[in-house]
Structure 1
Amino acid sequence: MGRMLSALLIGSLLVCAPLRADDSNSGDAAAKTATPAKTETNNSGAAKPATDYREEIEELRQMMREQAQQMAEQQKQLELLRAQLAATHSSAASPAPSAETATVHVVNGDMGAVRSASGPSAAAAQDKPKSEDSPASIRYKGITITPGGFFAAETVYRTRAISADDNTPFTSTPFNGNSLSKVSEMNFGGRQSRVSALLEGNIGTAKIGGYFEADFQGAGTTSNNRQSNSYVFRQRQAFAQVALNSGWTFTGGQQWSLATETRKGILNRQEATPLVVDHQYNVGFTWARQYGFRVVKNFDDKFALAFSVEGPQTTIGGRGFTSYSNTSATGVVTAAQNFFLNAPGNSGGLYNAFDATGYTANKAPDFILKAALDPGWGHYELFGIVSEFRNRIYPCALNTPTAGTNAAGTAVTQYTAGAQVTCAQSAATSPNAAGAFNDSRTGGGAGASARVPFFAKKLELNSKFTAGSGIGRYGSAQLPDATARPDGTLALLKSAQWLSGAEIHPNPKLDLYAYFGQEYAGRAAYTGYTTVRITNTPFIPAVAATGQPFYPSVTNIAVTTTAGGYGSPFANNSLCSTETTPAATGTPGTGGACAGDIRAISEASIGFWHKFYNSPKGGLRWGVQYSYLTKSAWSGNNNTPANAGISPKAVNNMVFLSFRYYLP
């Protein structure tokens, strides 16, 4: 078009009347054709020489040649932009645009906004108004980077305080004897804000990439709510992935456990988490975020199989474990137990040295196998878990009466009674390291879930059930995996967790939900736990001047045999509802004697999310959640068979509010 306009313009200059000198100097290239041209005269009235017209025409021709060169340069630049755009489309596996429909993208350096214009003119592309839409992803060296996340302002109110943010530790709801049960709490924060980045790139018959997600719900040693309210940025997910066109996917890194339900197939970032505000989700929800290496095979998006190797950990519960202490004549105390399971974190190895539960010396990873079915109506899953457990046992000898003499030569009897455990391997009265050994146990479980839509997906019903031995930590309430027998070996707890719910979507801007979930830990009670306490008293010589006789050195061995384990019917729950005074300044009283091993914990939740604004600039939503929680413990009669066992119970009412901005 540019060349055609140039030719027409030059032709018109040659056939039209001569231009006035002032028109030529102004640079106006339009020919005047309204009336027949008159012969132009000079100031003296004489006709202007023809040579003057030829010079002016030559000047105009030179100007038009220069303009044609400039337009040719602009055409080359436009062709270059088209080629670059075609290369970009080709790398994205889409057809390259034609010369007439190529879209030229001009990136605004300040805001990263993208403008689009069609046609051969770069000037037209720049002059077209900006579109409200912007790219959801960023192109960088052949990969696509998609940022995500949200910024949140959240509040939680609980009728019974547990000194926690909106990530509820469900088992911490206090019994009536704890001072926290007498006060409510209301906490506020923005720590739930989340950032994420998805990176993807195509390489032939595969897609490679990675995903990162983090929030601010970590707590540092200086974190507090006094002034700056600063908390720690923490990893939620970080994994790498290779997805082949043949249906095989390989994923490695920190991710949701394969035990977690998904909404479709077995896909990362498709986890079916409850819609609640609470960041510990709901009691009964089976999940973990941990190391995993996962292999998935997808069969035509209808059926999928997956196997994963995941990071293990063991949690232990119960009481009354066998122990030993020896107080020397100078007051030095030596203490020991007959097993160990977890070790404190080594800060030099980048583990948390302040974690009271410690880190398990794991024997093997957890193994999970899952099958998922998407027949066209609903989503269904079956899965199984296998876990290995190990601890180290230190056998103990029988304690029997022995005779000896003190420093004054007087015979004394050292009294002892009973046996710590039935492992008479030596005459020692303490755990025997020489005879120590490792003891291993195998646990695991299985689960099933179903998620079914109704009324054009405006209603979705879902339910999941998981049961087994040693799988308590996979539930939101974090009930224990195991307890210890009197001889120190582990007893895996039978446990179950289930969650059912309804999710309603009456319109695109409103989500309603209701859930009920429960977790259960079985009883594993034993008798014969023995506590051995040895106390050595020093020899005191006689003092004739005062008449004080000498006191012989005596070793006294006190042996106490009790019931224990998890949920023992002989446990002492007598003061679970009796409040006590604070043990230290500024801290609440923890109540009287209360074993309180949890039998079951339940939670019912209802709530909604209102997405009142959604556009290419992002989305705004607010939500409300109400939850009612109950916690009940195994009964205990305080080793008094004539008394009825006491089963303590605790309840909590919780309200959560959230206001969020989501990245587009």
Structure 2
Amino acid sequence: MLPLAAAEKPISSEPAESRQTEKPASGSEIEQLKRMIADQQRQIDELRHALEGQKNAPAIAHTSIGEVASTSAVIPPAAAAPASLPPQKSNGDEGSSPLQFRIGDAYITPVGFMDFTTITRSTNPGSGIGTNFGSIPFSNSAQGSLSETRFSAQNSRVGARVDAVVHGAKVLGYLESDFLGAPPGNVAVSSNSDPLRLRLYWVDVRKGKFEFLGGQSWSLLTPNRRGLSALPGDLFYSQAIDVNYQNGLVWSRDPGFRVLFHPTEKVAFGVSLENPEQYIGGSGGGGTITLANALSVLAGSQLNNGANTALSVPGMHPDIIAKLAFDPSRRFHIEIAGVERTFKVFNPNSQQKFTSAGGAGAINLSFEPIKNFRILTNNYYGAGGGRYLFGEAPDLILRADGSISPIHSGSTVTGFETQAKSTLFYGYYGGIYIQRNVALDTNGKPVGYGFSGSLNSQNRTIQEATFGMNQTFWKDPKFGALNLMLQYSYLQRNPWFVAPNQPSDAHLHMVFVNLRYTLPGSAPRLEH
């Protein structure tokens, strides 16, 4: 009876010797324990599979905010991108959300900024917030006697980039738009409804040493800050607020396809096929050539004169561009580029076809002799390459029989950029030279470009000096950036021919002030 009486006492008061006589567990209790152990094992297996999946997922490394929307030459490093899993709450703090969206295995990062721009000019070129450098008015005209002040939000941008790893290849899609589309005639009266405009829309695939890009992007001729990347932050198109950038800059944004080869991380070579356009002036303020009387019908139909509203001008083949870039260190970049173009016209009077090749070359260099002080020089010259000078130089003239003669032209943009804590200072000189090219019409009168008696829109030189600053108030991919930007420019153009008692040049002072809020977000750098 003693053991039975002891078993009826609470277990906590039971001596060690008597616990050996405890009543065996029932079958239901054993089954319950087995189920609990099985549930724990299942949870452990699920956790193990989840951890293995995270190991196999693409790694997210640090990224530079310059890969998203910045054009700054000297960019402070951004914070590391957080993991895609949502942050845990800690002491009531919800933490920061990821810097990009994730759909499946692709990461989508918003890009863009909101701009409020003020423009003041000493004369009124009539080109809106972008300056048509080649057509600034002379002082004896009505526009040359009036100043201009304008507010605008047109340069605000919106877009997205998509990053993914597919079968071991890095895939990057990029979309960027602004509000600088052709405005309706009454846009500034009431609503200021500036139309959305496509800037960039391309996809890039890189695997190993090879890279392919297709879509609308900056031309391969556009100077790079590093490598041959098509991302805006890796290109040089100046720090200017002017939406037409800096006079003398070689650039275009057009549809094309390019192939790049990276033998090492410090060397890149690329070949690009880009949209052709045989051009005789009239765009971006560029003066148009004078055609022979019998060939005037070719303007607009076979040769782009800046007045085309439809894509009606033929092209024999795409422009072929090649470029080689060296980046021995982060403080030095040099590149050599060239373009080959072919022009073709049909003379309806003689039923003859004429073909001519054109081309141009570029040498671009940027380096830091001391930390945070960068010197840049971008130089371009050729025959038949005026289209890439923002259209300020025609590509060619036509002789009286319809044969083609390319026009020689060249440019430079040389200057500096320096970062002093949160302030960027810059200064550039940009110059364009357009060579005279003259032929005779059947009636003995001169035709072409730059002859005695030609229009004062046929420029010999266009020059611009620019100084500016960009003050960063704050900058973090978690909440974006706020900047105040200032630009002053002096612009002058000199035509080939000036009539007696007329001004020998046209000149212009410009001041831009811009407040910019850059959207938050930072793109991942996917490792594969």
The interval holding the TM-score normalised by the smaller chain is 0.7 to 0.9
Give the direction of change, closer, same or farther, for the CA distance of 1:128–1:162 in structure 2 (3 Å limit): same
Structure with greater Cα Rg: 1
169, 173, 178: which is aligned to 1:215? 178
Bigger relative CO (Cα 8 Å, ≥ 6 apart): 2
271, 290, 301: which is aligned to 1:343? 301
Partner residue in 2 for 1:662: 518
Partner residue in 1 for 2:480: 618
* Cα separation, 2, equivalents of 1:171 and 1:612: 35
* Cα separation, 2, equivalents of 1:523 and 1:393: 24
Per-residue deviation at 1:570?
A: 3.5
Per-residue deviation at 1:339?
A: 5.3
* Cα separation, 1, equivalents of 2:310 and 2:383: 20
Per-residue deviation at 1:373?
A: 0.9
Partner residue in 2 for 1:576: none
What CA RMSD, in Å, does the superposition of the two structures yield over aligned residues? 3.2
Single out whichever of 465-474 and 78-87 deviates more from structure 2.
78-87
Per-residue deviation at 1:657?
A: 0.9
Give the direction of change, closer, same or farther, for the CA distance of 1:199–1:634 in structure 2 (3 Å limit): same
Single out whichever of 447-456 and 357-366 deviates more from structure 2.
357-366
Correspondence list, 1:443-592, <5 A: 443-456=358-371, 458-476=372-390, 478-507=392-421, 509-530=422-443, 561-571=444-454
User: What percentage of aligned pairs have identical amino acids?
Assistant: 27
Partner residue in 2 for 1:263: 225
Give the direction of change, closer, same or farther, for the CA distance of 1:85–1:186 in structure 2 (3 Å limit): farther
2:485 matches 1:602: no
Partner residue in 1 for 2:87: 115
Structure 1: give runs of 5+ residues left out of the alignment.
Answer: 1-12, 18-61, 96-103, 108-113, 117-125, 325-336, 346-352, 396-434, 531-560, 572-593, 638-643
2:84 matches 1:87: no
* Cα separation, 2, equivalents of 1:85 and 1:278: 51
Correspondence list, 1:56-455, <5 A: 80=46, 83-84=49-50, 86-93=52-59, 114-116=86-88, 129-130=92-93, 132-221=95-184, 224-245=187-208, 247-269=209-231, 270-317=234-281, 318-323=288-293, 337=295, 340=298, 342-343=300-301, 355=308, 359-376=312-329, 377-395=331-349, 435-455=350-370
Per-residue deviation at 1:321?
A: 2.6
The one-letter amino acid of 2:457's match is: G
| Preserved contact between residue 251 and residue 294 of structure 1 (Cα < 8 Å) | yes
The one-letter amino acid of 1:389's match is: F
Q: Deviations over 1:364-383 (max 9, x none)?
A: 11001111111225100011
Per-residue deviation at 1:74?
A: 9.8
Give the direction of change, closer, same or farther, for the CA distance of 1:357–1:138 in structure 2 (3 Å limit): closer
Q: Deviations over 1:231-264 (max 9, x none)?
A: 211111111111012x110111111111111111
Structure 2: give runs of 5+ residues left out of the alignment.
Answer: 1-9, 15-28, 62-81, 282-287, 521-528
Per-residue deviation at 1:85?
A: 6.0
3, 12, 15: which is aligned to 1:15? 12
The one-letter amino acid of 1:568's match is: F
Aligned residue-pair number? 464
Per-residue deviation at 1:618?
A: 1.1
| Preserved contact between residue 498 and residue 504 of structure 2 (Cα < 8 Å) | no
The one-letter amino acid of 2:508's match is: N
| Preserved contact between residue 136 and residue 146 of structure 1 (Cα < 8 Å) | yes
| Preserved contact between residue 167 and residue 279 of structure 1 (Cα < 8 Å) | yes
* Cα separation, 2, equivalents of 1:90 and 1:143: 15
* Cα separation, 1, equivalents of 2:135 and 2:187: 20
| Preserved contact between residue 568 and residue 636 of structure 1 (Cα < 8 Å) | no
SS at match of 1:264: coil
Partner residue in 2 for 1:40: none
Per-residue deviation at 1:227?
A: 0.8
Single out whichever of 445-454 and 136-145 deviates more from structure 2.
136-145
| Preserved contact between residue 488 and residue 511 of structure 2 (Cα < 8 Å) | yes
The one-letter amino acid of 1:490's match is: I
* Cα separation, 2, equivalents of 1:140 and 1:378: 38
SS at match of 1:144: strand
| Preserved contact between residue 87 and residue 96 of structure 2 (Cα < 8 Å) | no
